[in-house]
Amino acid sequence: MYNGLKGKVAVVTGGSKGIGNAIARRLSEEKMKVVINYHSDKEGAEETVEELKKAGGEAVAVEADVSSEDGVKALLDAAISNFGDLDVWINNAGMENKVSTHELTLEDWDKVINVNLTGVFLGSKAALNHFLEKNKKGNIINLSSVHERIPWPTFAHYSASKGGVKLFNETIALEYAHKGIRVNSIAPGAINTPINAEKFENEEEKEKTLNMIPMNYIGKPEEVAAAAAWLASDESSYVTGTTLFVDGGMTLYPSFEKGEG
């Protein structure tokens, strides 16, 4: 349990499954009130809400597309109408698809940028306006990726979106630090979630990924959720504008592991 979370209100985008779901569950365990956003997986979101309520938590599932202003407004409204406030906004929703850049359609480019980068902007803007209006030292957490740092051929749109999140994160952290509003990113490496399910079902593909992870295992969504809970809490009170890598060492140039080169 971390200090300063109990009774506070969080919005978690894309919270019906994967990392967002683990974050929603962890924040509920920390006695926060949670708005769990979903876009397509209504069942996953509603089942999670039921489970959290049974365990004594307070949560609500809300459908919204984070790439639209109406969508993020619906999430902020839900936080206020259900729980009376907003303290922590977690921009977790994301998507990717593998395609060579010379074959990448503008439609696919736009889809990924709209969710992964514009969604982060819109969510942050909604949260910032609420925090400023209430003179509140709110907290924004963005799910970036190791690909805000590592180039990823055949995922150029994804890498560009996460690179964009990096400087957006740093810029708004600087812009609102004097108000006591903190903004940080989490950069997961390879985490076992539906986004990777197909890849990790293939043993050969899984092995290739494991070879890129010095700690030699695929991360668990709960390991990312623990980082989110810490960043949301008062225990990280002096941390802003940073990216916390939760990647088993993937960004440490594993090809240099044996001192070669």
CA 160 from centroid of its chain's CA atoms: 16
39-78 footprint of ligand NAD as x/- string (CB under 6 A): xxx-----------------------xxx-----------
Count of positions on this chain that bind ligand NAD (CB under 6 A): 28
Which two tokens mark 144? 């970036």
Contact between 115 and ligand NAD by CB under 6 A: the answer reads yes
Quick check: helix, strand or coil at residue 58? strand
Please identify every residue annotated as catalytic.
Answer: 158
**Helices and strands, number each (H, E), in the chain:** 9, 7
Quick check: helix, strand or coil at residue 139? strand
Q: Tell me how far apart the alpha carbons of residues 8 and 85 are, in angstroms, rounded to a whole number.
A: 8
Which two tokens mark 224? 């990312």
The stretch near ligand NAD (CB under 6 A) out of 37-45, 48-56, 101-109, 128-136 is 37-45
Angle at 219 between CA 13 and CA 211, to 5 degrees: 130
177-216 footprint of ligand NAD as x/- string (CB under 6 A): -----------x-xx-xxxx--------------------
User: Which of 10, 11, 12, 13: binder of ligand NAD (CB under 6 A)?
Assistant: 13
> Shortest gap between Cβ of 189 and ligand NAD (angstroms)?
6
Rounded to the nearest 10 degrees, how much is the dihedral formed by the CA atoms of 10, 15, 16, 18? -140
Q: Tell me how far apart the alpha carbons of residues 18 and 109 are, in angstroms, rounded to a whole number.
A: 23
> Shortest gap between Cβ of 12 and ligand NAD (angstroms)?
10
* Cβ proximity to ligand NAD, 19 vs 227, nearer residue: 19
User: Which of 95, 112, 229, 250: binder of ligand NAD (CB under 6 A)?
Assistant: 95
- Residues of this chain, 215-244, that bind ligand NAD according to CB under 6 A: none
Quick check: helix, strand or coil at residue 154? coil
Contact between 124 and ligand NAD by CB under 6 A: the answer reads no
* Cβ proximity to ligand NAD, 67 vs 139, nearer residue: 67
Could you give phi then psi for residue 191, rounded to 5 degrees? Answer: -120, 145
Contact between 143 and ligand NAD by CB under 6 A: the answer reads yes
Strand ranges, E, within the chain: 9-12, 33-38, 58-63, 88-91, 139-143, 182-188, 243-246
> Shortest gap between Cβ of 259 and ligand NAD (angstroms)?
28
14-33 footprint of ligand NAD as x/- string (CB under 6 A): x-xxxxx-------------
Q: Tell me how far apart the alpha carbons of residues 189 and 146 are, in angstroms, rounded to a whole number.
A: 6
Footprint of ligand NAD on this chain (CB under 6 A)?
13-14, 16-20, 37, 39-41, 65-67, 92-95, 115, 143, 145, 188, 190-191, 193-196
